[in-house]
Chain A
Amino acid sequence: KAGVTQTPRYLIKTRGQQVTLSCSPISGHRSVSWYQQTPGQGLQFLFEYFSETQRNKGNFPGRFSGRQFSNSRSEMNVSTLELGDSALYLCASSLRATSSTDTQYFGPGTRLTVL
Chain B
Amino acid sequence: DQQVKQNSPSLSVQEGRISILNCDYTNSMFDYFLWYKKYPAEGPTFLISISSIKDKNEDGRFTVFLNKSAKHLSLHIVPSQPGDSAVYFCAARHDRGSTLGRLYFGRGTQLTVWP
Contacts and interface: CB of A to CB of B under 8 A. Distances in A.
Interface size range on A against B: 20 to 34
Contacts of A56: 98-102
Interface size range on B against A: 20 to 34
Interface string B18-42: 0000000000000110101000011
B56 interface: no
A75 interface: no
A100 B34 contact: no
A106 B36 contact: yes
A101 B99 CA distance: 15
Contacts of A55: 100-101
Contacts of A43: 44, 89, 103, 105
B2 to A, nearest CB: 8
B101 A31 contact: yes
Contact of B43 (A31, A42, A90, A103): A90
Interface string B91-108: 001110011111111111
Nearest to B2: A42
